[in-house]
Chains A and B, each alone.
Chain A
Amino acid sequence: MKVELLYYPDCPSHERALELVREALALEDIDAPVNVIRVETDEEAERYRFIGSPTIRFNGIEVDPAPHLPYRLTCRTFRREDGRLSPVPSLQMLRETIALARKEEEHHGS
């Protein structure tokens, strides 16, 4: 599985986000490296379709996608299943996106 974590260094959430991504992959029994990408300019934000830090994708499928938001250098807000707003997604959100990516993988492989 292709795993990407894009981050803006001024936003302090990426280290915790990386821990959560690794935890979610382990829980889903997936052994895949995480490609950590630093986004530092508006041009890079455009190029990577980066709406905020952290942006996490499994096989290109984004966790908590928000296509209405502009590409820019900022921290990203995730709404967790308990309704709380957080700078990082929950483990459940990550696992659900991994499951979706897996399903797509199986669909295309069959």
Chain B
Amino acid sequence: MALEIGKPIVDFSLPGVDGKTLSPADFAEKPVLVVAFWCNHCPYVRAYEERTIALAKEFADKVAFVAINANDAVKYPEDSFPNMQARAKEMGYPFPYLHDESQEIARAYGATRTPEFFVFDSQRILRYHGRLDDNWENPSAVQQRYLRDAISALLNNQLPPVADTEPVGCTVKWK
């Protein structure tokens, strides 16, 4: 079961594709932190990749985005650390891309899918969990922008209009 809305952030310390090890404390100056469970091989991540990058760039001043890949890279070699580095470079990820090799962090968050978003407020309390929007297939047909609405609400010191949605994507590939 995913981390419950209203619960504090689960701490982590994970290596990123740029060689830096990061934890939530590294983003303390940002009033909102988005933790996204992510990977290389899943078509849903690919479908949402540009939308996520655009959102991260748009809110770069006030919101920190962190992507975490916990997939088993033995069975899914596209998700190996070198391939994560290559993907981040190729797409110009504007956010850190971290490797949860032991899968402990994904388990602690109760993440089940990629992509799956957890949004924390300035006190690092979980205020939104779930999908980015309501249409993975067609960006121009999106009607509900759950992640954007949650971020905007938190930046205005309000609670997100929708706090929890069912994530849509590939399952996390457990060892």
Residues of A within 8 A of B41 (CB): 74, 77
* Known A10-B171, A11-B170; contact A77-B137, beta-carbon cutoff 8 A: no
A84 contacts partner chain B, Cβ-Cβ < 8 Å: yes
Q: What is the 8 Å Cβ interface bit string for chain A, positions 66-104, against chain B (1 contact, 0 not)?
A: 000000101111100000111110000000000000000
Taken together as a complex, chains A and B put the C-alpha atoms of A84 and B75 apart, in Å, by 25
Residues of B within 8 A of A77 (CB): 41-43, 46
Cross-chain contact B75 with A87 (CB below 8 angstroms): no
In A6-58, the 8 Å CB interface with B consists of 10-13, 16
B168 contacts partner chain A, Cβ-Cβ < 8 Å: yes
Taken together as a complex, chains A and B put the C-alpha atoms of A74 and B113 apart, in Å, by 12
Taken together as a complex, chains A and B put the C-alpha atoms of A84 and B76 apart, in Å, by 22
Taken together as a complex, chains A and B put the C-alpha atoms of A76 and B41 apart, in Å, by 9
B148 contacts partner chain A, Cβ-Cβ < 8 Å: no
Taken together as a complex, chains A and B put the C-alpha atoms of A75 and B137 apart, in Å, by 14
Residues of B within 8 A of A16 (CB): 137
Cross-chain contact B47 with A85 (CB below 8 angstroms): yes
In the complex, the chain A residue whose C-beta lies closest to that of B171 is A10
Residues of B within 8 A of A86 (CB): 43, 46-47, 137
**Chain B: minimal CB distance from A86 (Å):** 6
User: Which 10 pairs show the lowest CB-CB distances between chains A and B?
Assistant: A77-B43, A85-B46, A87-B43, A75-B170, A10-B171, A75-B43, A87-B44, A75-B42, A86-B47, A12-B168
Residues of chain A touching chain B, judged by Cβ–Cβ distance below 8 Å, are 10-13, 16, 72, 74-78, 84-88
